[in-house]
Chain A
Amino acid sequence: MWRRLGRTGLVAVALAALLLAGCGGGSSSSSGNAGSSGGTGQQQSTGAGTASSQAGGTITIGINADPPNLDPAGSTALVDRYVQNSIFDKLYDVDANLKVVPVLAASLPEISADGKTYTIHLRQGIQFTDGTPFNADAVIYNLKRYMSPDSARHSELSFVSDVQKVDDYTVRIVLSKPFSPLLYTLTDRAGMMGSPAAIQKEGANFGQHPVGTGPFMFESRIKGDQIVLVRNPHYWQKGLPKADKVVWKVVTDDNVKVVNLKAGQLDIIDTVPAQSVGDLQSNSAFRVDIGPGLGFQGLYLNVQQPPFNNVYLRRAVDLAIDRAALVKVVFGQTADPGYGPFPAGTPAEAASGTPPAVDLAKVKQLLAQGGHPNGFTFTLKIATSPVNQQVAQVLKNMLAQAGITMNIQQEEFGTLLDDSTKHNFQASALGWSGRPDPDGNIYSWFYTGGSLNDSGYSNPKVDQLLDQARATSDMTQRVALYTQVMEIIHQDVPYVYLYFPKNVKAFTAQLKGFVNVPDGIIRTAQLGK
């Protein structure tokens, strides 16, 4: 779990950014195909399928934080999933188009008509890297471990009442009530299979010595610096992995990461600051791949406290923001304007809605209706990163034109999180890294008492619709329900949606086989040089 507007390095300052842009521009050599070298996910993925080079070598990947916990049962950070995806195969995975594909499962599950039992057939002849066989017992062991109350996966599997063994290679998951997000849940950490023998042996230390069936095996780690994985020589997918070694290098500052990519210390980086995108695109030695993301960013408005216990003032703020201009100024190609929790390319994108045009006359009218015809003042709490500051400054100017005064208060990320959870704010800038299933992007925000409902919002109609969507397996019907929810949310505005960050990865031109999956996680099996 990771919120995007979160902590960043201490050093990313505008001056450094200018410097990078300036120097980099000078050193770039070719510009002929500058525009197209940006590449698209599709372009790259077709190249990956051909398996042209059997290269080997070491791939060094720059990531923005030290993964706190590699044990899928305890992990809560997005960076954990980067590394875990190389060590652990999952029952299912999502492809570049967010389609669910079987991995350790032999096929998509057979779902009963009432939506309450999932029968999963498993692939045969696979072993964990410690020699333990992969079978139904192993799957049941892992799922039961994830279901236990002290696992971070507990809430994702809370509707699972039992996991049964049908035969050695068939497992049945029984739900207490229909829960359509389950399939996507099994494409993430709750679907990662660890070696039962290793888990029993290591106990609480499994995160320090993780063992799975994946393309790479854990070799060593220096906390705060790097994690080294080596090729699994007995990997069950023929011809994979392509590389001999994958090194995950922690580089907390975005500009430092770009410099290290340019200097050849890194082969691929997990995020690219907006101001470096153009520079890297115009340099033929590098590729920039910009794909859709799953997350959103915006502002919580505290509906339990003045001034935002007044719905007209919430609507006024929502309508005074020009999302297109915000994205253009701060993010360039690296984000899309957003007006809902579901980005383009995700199953429920139609439910989000299009950002409204700024209408200052209407804002004026709303302010008058709210009893503040001459505007009002509120404080926005933001985390301390340069991007957050830029966004907040742009918003401040936009709102000032509507007569609304916004004060900006910076807080260290942990403090902001604490204040937000305890409803100790007027407005708070926190977003979400996103989940492939729409439920994971909306339910906990607006459900009464939901774990991410920092606004303190409650609407019985919304609760009912959200529950109904969970129990519906047909995506078209779910999207219709989410559309109804979003119509209410756009009226009530407990959260102001601002933009959808995209997945921007940059890598050296020698790197082959990169596929930009919307969940942002770099799949390493196909990578080679």
Chain B
Amino acid sequence: MWTHFLRRLMLAIPVLFLVSVMVFSLIHLIPGDPGRTILGPEATPDAVRAFDHRLGLDRPLPEQYLRWLLRVLHGDLGNSLVDGTPVSLLIAQRLPATAELAVGALLLAMLLAIPAGILSATRQGGWGDAAGTFLSLAGLSLPQFWLGLLLILYFAVRLHWLPASGYVPFFQDPVQNLKTMLLPIVVTGLRETAVTMRMMRSSLLDVLDQDYVRTARAKGLPPGAVILRHATRNALIPVVTTSGLQLAGLLGGLVITETIFVIPGFGRLIVDSILNRDFVTLQGAVLVSAVLVIAVNFLVDLLYTVLDPRIQLARGARA
């Protein structure tokens, strides 16, 4: 267990290094100079040069990268090019909202998708299956901005049940927080439900075809026990894998939901820093999201062992 953990950790280091090199190189390929973008078109070329010089942006790229890397190794993500705010503070302000949204959406998805997937798979070809497939297709196809605005118009503008925006951190005012997060979680969650449900359905159908399920049935176990205790558990493994990937994707990819519901989230931080050519903030944010992806994947690996004891992390073996 511990050796596996350490091995994963060691593997994470080159991954993070590669991610940071890639982000750094890519960002310098985008046309547009941070000094010009931040100071605005009215700034004189001298002012732009002075700005770039003050922040070391006129140094050779490898030197800039190494300076940045050294600071990161000392635990300092640097300061935003726009106004000097520490990047770690920006991330700390923005990550909780997105994390809440992502985790909430995924919980909602699990809650809805797993039972729906089981029903759909066990009644394959029936009307329930057809309805489930139809709804999940609809969930995947509905554009989030459209669904989001529709829900706001109905629940906030017409019924006045929920606020249209106004995020407050959970620990500051839990009730208000849940009120404002409910619609965004539903909008994001419905889409994830669709993905998870389809995964659950096809995975369970695969498992139901296998020999040990037939054996269990032949032994005379009640159908419910066969499906829930024997089949579902194994069918969950690919579902957990995709959910992990979904969670990782959600952490950086909720820009649209964050924009519609005016949530100061991590996705918007990344997009804004690209638009502002705020290289330092972007590098920090991408590095943090890479760390999160690695962490989530590690958690998923741990979950495998719970679901299927044959998978043992200690030996790194996977059935």
Contact = CB atoms under 8 A, between A and B. Distances in A.
Interface stretch (B114-122, B151-159, B218-226, B243-251): B151-159
Contact of A255 (B54, B149, B156, B255): B149
B198 interface: no
Contacts of B255: 10
B259 A418 contact: no
Contact of A27 (B33, B90, B143, B157): B157
A1 B39 CA distance: 8
Contact of A16 (B41, B145, B262, B268): B145
Contact of A208 (B37, B84, B264, B268): B84
Given A7-B275, A154-B44, A259-B153, A208 B39 contact: no
A251 to B, nearest CB: 5
11 contacts: A19-B153, A76-B39, A223-B85, A226-B264, A263-B152, A263-B157, A264-B160, A417-B37, A418-B31, A451-B42, A451-B44
- Residue of A263, A420, A444, A452 ringed by the most chain B CB atoms within 10 A: A263
B272 interface: yes
B207 to A, nearest CB: 40
Interface stretch (A113-121, A124-132, A173-181, A408-416): A408-416
Contact of B156 (A1, A19, A263): A263
Interface string A54-67: 00000000000010
Contacts of B40: 1-2, 76-77, 152
B50 interface: yes
Q: Which 7 A-B pairs have the closest CB atoms?
A: A225-B264, A76-B40, A1-B40, A263-B164, A414-B32, A263-B156, A11-B145
A76 B275 contact: no
A179 B156 CA distance: 53
A420 B90 CA distance: 31
B163 interface: yes
A226 B262 CA distance: 10
B149 A19 contact: yes
A204 B146 CA distance: 42
A201 to B, nearest CB: 15
Contacts of B268: 224, 252
B47 interface: yes
B36 A412 contact: no
Contacts of A421: 36, 41
B56 interface: no
Contacts of A77: 40
A259 B152 contact: yes
A428 B221 CA distance: 73
B47 A204 contact: no
B203 interface: no
Contacts of A225: 93, 167, 262, 264
A212 B145 CA distance: 40
A418 B47 CA distance: 16
Contacts, number: 162
Interface of A: 1-3, 7, 9-11, 13, 15-16, 19-20, 23, 27, 66, 68-69, 74, 76-77, 149-150, 152, 154-155, 204-205, 207-208, 222-226, 249-253, 255-256, 259-260, 262-265, 412-415, 417-421, 444, 451-452
B153 A23 contact: yes
Contacts of A150: 47, 50-51, 54
Given A255-B149, A256-B149, A444-B42, 13 more contacts: A10-B256, A16-B146, A155-B42, A223-B94, A225-B93, A260-B262, A263-B152, A414-B31, A417-B37, A418-B32, A418-B33, A451-B44, A452-B42
Contact of B41 (A1, A23, A208, A412): A1
Contact of B277 (A3, A226, A264, A414): A414
Contacts of A1: 40-43
Interface string B155-189: 01110100111110000000000000000000000
Nearest to B39: A76
Contacts of B61: none
Interface in B22-56: 30-33, 36-44, 46-47, 50-51, 54
Interface in B130-162: 143, 145-146, 149-150, 152-153, 156-158, 160
A208 B82 CA distance: 11
Contacts of A76: 38-40, 42-43
Given A1-B42, A69-B83, A251 B37 contact: no
B288 interface: no
Nearest to A416: B32
B276 interface: yes
B146 A15 contact: yes
Nearest to B94: A224
B171 to A, nearest CB: 14
Contact of B264 (A3, A222, A263, A451): A222
A204 B41 contact: no
Contacts of B272: 66, 224
A149 B43 CA distance: 11
Contacts of A205: 84
B271 interface: yes
B165 A265 contact: yes
